[in-house]
Amino acid sequence: MARVTFEHVTKRFDSVVAVQDFDLKIADKEFLVLVGPSGCGKSTTLRLLAGLEEISEGKIYIGDRLVNRVPARDRDIAMVFQSYALYPHMSVFDNMAFALTLHKVPKDDIRRRVSAAAQILDIETLLKRKPRQLSGGQRQRVALGRAIVRDPAVFLFDEPLSNLDAKLRVQTRAELSKLHQRLDSTFIYVTHDQVEAMTMATRIAVMKDGLLQQVGTPQDLYERPANMFVAGFIGSPAMNFFPVTVSGAPEDVHLDAENIKVQVPAAAAPALAPYLGNEIVFGIRPENIHDREFQPSDIRGAALEAQVDVTELMGNEVFLHLLADGEQFLARVDPRTKARPGNTIQVVFDMDRMHAFDPATEDAIALAPA
Amino acid sequence: MARRNPSTATEAALGGLLPAIRLGEALKWLAARVPIHLAVIGLAALWSVPTIALLVSSFRDPRDIATSGWWNAIKSPLDVTLDNYEKVLETEGMARAFFNSLIITVPATVLVILVAALAAYAFAWMQFPGRNVLFLIVVGLLVVPLQMTLIPVLRLYTDLTIDAEVPVIGGRVFGTGSYAGMWLAHTAYGLPFAVYLLRNFFGSLPRDLFESAYLDGASDLRVFFRIVLPLSMPAIAALAIFQFLWVWNDLLIALILLPDPNLAPMTLKITNLVTSFGSQYQLLTAAAFISMALPLFIFFALQRYFIQGILAGAVKG
Amino acid sequence: MIGRPWWTPWLWLAPALILLGVFLVYPTVDTFRRSLLDQRSRDFVGLDNYRFIIENPQPLVSDTHSALLNNVMWLTLFTVLTVGFGLVFAVLAARVRYEAVAKAAIFVPVAISFVAASVIWRFMYEFNSEIGTVNAGVTSLGGDPTAWLQNTGGLQTWLTDTGPDKWPGPLQINNMALILVGVWIWAGFAVVVLSAGLKGISTEILEAARVDGANEWQIFWRIIVPVLSPTIVVVSTTLVIQALKKFDLVWVMTGGRFETDVVATLFFKEAFIVRDFGVGAALAVVLLLWVVPIMVISIRRFQFQEETR
């Protein structure tokens, strides 16, 4: 149980910078998820923490201890690998006991700890089997068991769910959250799947091209993304972006594109006033676009006519792929909608939930006082 | 519906021909197949003739061998004698030679695996400057024929000879006429191939297995003995068989470095027998068969690993 | 890995590097050196030893000319016959259900030592056609028996009783007889490797060819052989190297007499019987010089195969 601190950490592989100036303080007992697309540097960051790669610049602390030069085995860290890394020639019990035998823990203690971990993970009946006799889900639990048995200061996870099928993934997500609460430890978790991040994390750190984009709670990242990348990455389906011109007057701001004209709510107008006459990027999430006919009563919105391109029936809602002004966008609407491909439909943007971004820097324009 | 009622005339005609057609096809098929079977069986039989000749002759009386061909032995199959084996094992010292071969081969095989595995692990999983170049050099030494090394090694051994006798197994402690000398030489000559083979295999093990072990607290030695070696058994088995046979069947090195007839392995012993008993085939065949017995046994028992070793050894030549 | 002292890799490499240095690196350099010195390795004689090898017959040792050419004969005939047989047998055996047994039968000779094989074949080649299997076979077909290992005549002489009594070294019958033994031993190796390669050819290609109307002969030459050519090259280079280094077989069967000497037997005689270290070393260098290019090709091919997997 410890906190982890990254201070200006940089990692270079020859001329490629994999991680750049990474600064992050992770509190004790947090479930921190490092998320981002492939190649963003999240796995490398994890490996730097584990001691599997050497840092080029910067410092990493576990607790109060500087661990730059400390070998992996002395960092009191356990890691669950993407492919589980189970020792094929050892039984499940031996796999879980391996680290303990290396540290010369007495046999009785080993047995006790392995049984306890096996119980938590419901794999007691598998202790005598070899990895090749287990299913993917079972192997993953054994990998988890191995980590739990070590009782480390920090648990590291490197995309542990990516080899599981969809249904198992959903189930395991819930179990990991429960495990986190039960073990009351620091979890640092790497994934490319933002759903995993949103459902399990206490805080999320988004990375892209080696740089940290934003750190915050899932709610923070969802409601107040710091830039276009985070806005488009978090939330599924992704946020819609429209290039628009800010027009009107400082008290009455609208956003214009060819056939779109939406009014900006009064609360947000001051923030956009400086951009009058200029282009910005207008962002709105699919779940904040409604079928006018079934518009929820508390929405103040700007109505728009759009052509329906494709409809996807999801059961509890319908995804509409729409076209307006040559712009394609997605709306999640009430399942009772009468939209059909080829028709036009009136949709309403919930402007209280609008987002705006500077087109040059791609940073978010803060619309309301924080 | 229409299919069920072809003209009855056609059907009758075809019906009559059908058996004939079937037979014709069957014959044709057989005619195509028979030559293949003949060829394969014939060649396999032809190839086995010499070995069978050897085996049969080794059980025959010297008078029989001198007068009639071994194929005549079929006429009187019970006329077998174990005299030849007895003579060759006791009087001519083949029993001792058998053990000498074992004494030379087993340690040479074990040593080469151990030394090569250590080096292969370093090459596969440790970082150090010049790693790739050094590996290329080590493997490159495969091209050096034994002859390039023998004169200097002989002189080296002669200079370093320690005349004391080793208990139990015999021979000198070191130098010419010593088992230790043979072990070191054979180990060294087997290294380039062994390192190449093992390094490739070790390198193919998944990296996260090592990382997981390091994180668990394993040192390099622990990882080596408890993870790498157990998982590399197939490669090690193939290597062991290959090296075992290579050393067991070696003649040249024994000829040069082991002049003491008491220490001679079977290859050397048989060569001497040929020189002194050139036409006493009953002895020679018995001796040859004794030397073949172990490799043949290994071959039949461990065929899979044997062949793997040979396939991998396609490079060693 | 963090925390590993810089000297650890070197510690692990040490036993191997030391052994290689002592037994391979140092001797190679030393042998080069000796090839330029006199027979006791004292005085510098330049390229005299090499000149000697190329030009000279000598009382105790057989004609060096034929030794070099004998090796050439080995590497052509031996290789072609072994690869040819291996290929044909691999293809034929693949069509019968007892393929594994058939291959095992051919493979058995690979397991036995050259020395044991030499004993077997001395027995087979025995002049007395009552005993010697080959001669027995020959006489039963109506021919004349011959002392295979000593006959320095040519194939034509034996078959037709005409022609010169003594043929140029490499083409002599006794050389052929020795080469045949080599083929007998190594065919199994060729069969195993080529058979493995054959299994790698997808059956779909062969079926497509059959559907296209190709007969077996065409399939063999136009599909199997080309697709298998990398494997054929690997096998061939291995065999060529064997042919160049051949020692045991020749030594035990004829001792290099009757003009069957090869460079390796010559080396042994010069270095350890005549004890002329200079000439011996020079012969070793000759061996090295012509083995190296082949091995380089072989290793590179193997590397290439490994990389493209």
Closest CA to A90 of B231, B210, B117, B236: B231
Residue B98 contacts residue C113 (beta carbons within 8 Å) = no
CB proximity C6 to A under 8 Å: no
Residues in chain B within 8 Å Cβ distance of C288: 143-145, 147-148
Residues in chain C within 8 Å Cβ distance of A74: 3
Residues 192-211 of B with CB under 8 A from A: 206, 208-209, 211
d(CA C285, CA C105): 38
d(CA A242, CA A281): 6
Residue C228 contacts residue C194 (beta carbons within 8 Å) = yes
Domain count, chain B: 2
Residues in chain A within 8 Å Cβ distance of B208: 81-83, 85
Instruction: Clarify whether residues B147 and B268 are in a common domain.
Output: yes
**C203-230 burial, b for 16+ CB within 10 Å, e for fewer?**
eeebeebeeeebeeeebeeebbeebbee
If you ran DSSP here, which 8-state letter would residue B302 be given?
S
Instruction: Clarify whether residues B158 and B77 are in a common domain.
Output: no
What pTM was estimated for this model as a whole? 0.80
Cβ contact, residue pair B51, C109, below 8 Å:
yes
Q: What is the pLDDT of residue C81?
A: 93
3-state DSSP assignment of residue C147: coil
Give the one of A52, A99, A103 whose C-beta lies nearest to B211's C-beta: A52
CB proximity C1 to A under 8 Å: yes
User: Distance, in angstroms, between C12 CA and closest chain A CA?
Assistant: 20
Domain boundaries, chain C: 68-259
CB proximity A166 to B under 8 Å: no
Cβ contact, residue pair A70, C4, below 8 Å:
no
d(CA A155, CA C268): 66
d(CA C56, CA A202): 89
Tell which of B53, B81, B109 closes a domain. Answer: B81
CATH number assigned to the domain comprising residue B185: 1.10.3720.10
CB proximity C78 to B under 8 Å: no
Residue C251 contacts residue B275 (beta carbons within 8 Å) = no
Instruction: Clarify whether residues B130 and B231 are in a common domain.
Output: yes
User: Distance, in angstroms, between A146 CA and closest chain B CA?
Assistant: 9
Q: What is the pLDDT of residue A370?
A: 44
CA nearest A89 in B: which residue?
B231
Rg of chain C, C-alpha, whole Å:
24
CB proximity C264 to B under 8 Å: yes
d(CA A121, CA B229): 31
Name the residue with higher pLDDT: A83 or B23.
Answer: A83
Instruction: Clarify whether residues B18 and B153 are in a common domain.
Output: no
CB proximity B227 to A under 8 Å: yes
Cβ contact, residue pair B315, C292, below 8 Å:
no
Sheet of A261-263: strand order equals: A261-263, A252-256, A240-249, A279-284, A355-357
Residue B265 contacts residue B254 (beta carbons within 8 Å) = yes
User: Distance, in angstroms, between A76 CA and closest chain C CA?
Assistant: 15
CA nearest C105 in B: which residue?
B44
Instruction: Clarify whether residues B107 and B65 are in a common domain.
Output: no
Interface size A-C, in CB pairs within 8 Å, comes to 17
Cβ contact, residue pair B211, A72, below 8 Å:
yes
d(CA C235, CA C237): 6
Contact partners for chain B, using 3 or more CB pairs closer than 8 A, are A, C
User: Distance, in angstroms, between B240 CA and closest chain A CA?
Assistant: 21
Q: Which amino acid is at C115?
A: V
Q: What is the pLDDT of residue B1?
A: 41
Interface size B-C, in CB pairs within 8 Å, comes to 282
Residue A123 contacts residue B250 (beta carbons within 8 Å) = no
> What is the average pLDDT across B145-169?
86
Instruction: Clarify whether residues B36 and B111 are in a common domain.
Output: no
Cβ contact, residue pair A81, B211, below 8 Å:
yes
Q: What is the pLDDT of residue C309?
A: 42
**A87-100 burial, b for 16+ CB within 10 Å, e for fewer?**
bebbbbbbbbbbbb
CB proximity C214 to B under 8 Å: no
CB proximity A56 to C under 8 Å: no
Q: What is the pLDDT of residue A320?
A: 92
Residues in chain C within 8 Å Cβ distance of A73: 3
Instruction: Clarify whether residues B168 and B298 are in a common domain.
Output: yes
Instruction: Clarify whether residues B105 and B209 are in a common domain.
Output: yes
Cβ contact, residue pair A69, C4, below 8 Å:
no
Q: Is B28 exposed, middle or buried (0-12, 13-18, 19+ CB in 10 A)?
A: exposed
Q: What is the pLDDT of residue C113?
A: 80
Residues in chain A within 8 Å Cβ distance of B218: 73, 98, 102
Q: C188: left (phi > 0), else alpha (psi -120 to 50), else beta?
A: alpha
Q: What is the pLDDT of residue C193?
A: 84
Instruction: Clarify whether residues B28 and B146 are in a common domain.
Output: no
Q: Which amino acid is at A23?
A: D
Residues in chain C within 8 Å Cβ distance of B287: 119
Residues in chain C within 8 Å Cβ distance of A47: none
Q: Which amino acid is at A57?
A: E
d(CA A305, CA B180): 93
d(CA A29, CA A182): 11
> What is the average pLDDT across B142-156?
88
User: Distance, in angstroms, between B217 CA and closest chain A CA?
Assistant: 4
Residues of chain C with pLDDT under 70: 56-65, 128-131, 142-146, 151-171, 301-309
Q: Give me the domain span that covers residue B38.
A: 4-81
Which position has the token pair 């151990």?
B114
3-state DSSP assignment of residue A96: helix
User: Distance, in angstroms, between B213 CA and closest chain C CA?
Assistant: 12
d(CA C290, CA C288): 5
Compute mean pLDDT per 10 residues along chain A, 370 residues long, and list them. Answer: 90 92 94 94 94 93 92 91 90 93 91 93 92 91 93 93 90 93 94 94 95 95 94 92 86 78 83 87 92 81 85 92 87 89 89 90 79
Instruction: Clarify whether residues B159 and B34 are in a common domain.
Output: no
| Average pLDDT of chain B, as a whole number | 82
> What is the average pLDDT across B103-112?
95
Residue C103 contacts residue C259 (beta carbons within 8 Å) = no
Contact partners for chain C, using 3 or more CB pairs closer than 8 A, are A, B
Instruction: Clarify whether residues B224 and B135 are in a common domain.
Output: yes
Tell which of B81, B99, B119 closes a domain. Answer: B81
Q: Which amino acid is at C155?
A: L
- Bridge-partner residues for A249, per DSSP? A252
**For the domain C68-259, what is the CATH code?**
1.10.3720.10
- Tokens at residue A314, please? 């999801």
Give the one of B47, B53, B118 whose C-beta lies nearest to C184's C-beta: B47
Does the interface predicted TM-score (ipTM) exceed 0.85? no
- Tokens at residue B149, please? 């090394």
Instruction: Clarify whether residues B112 and B50 are in a common domain.
Output: no
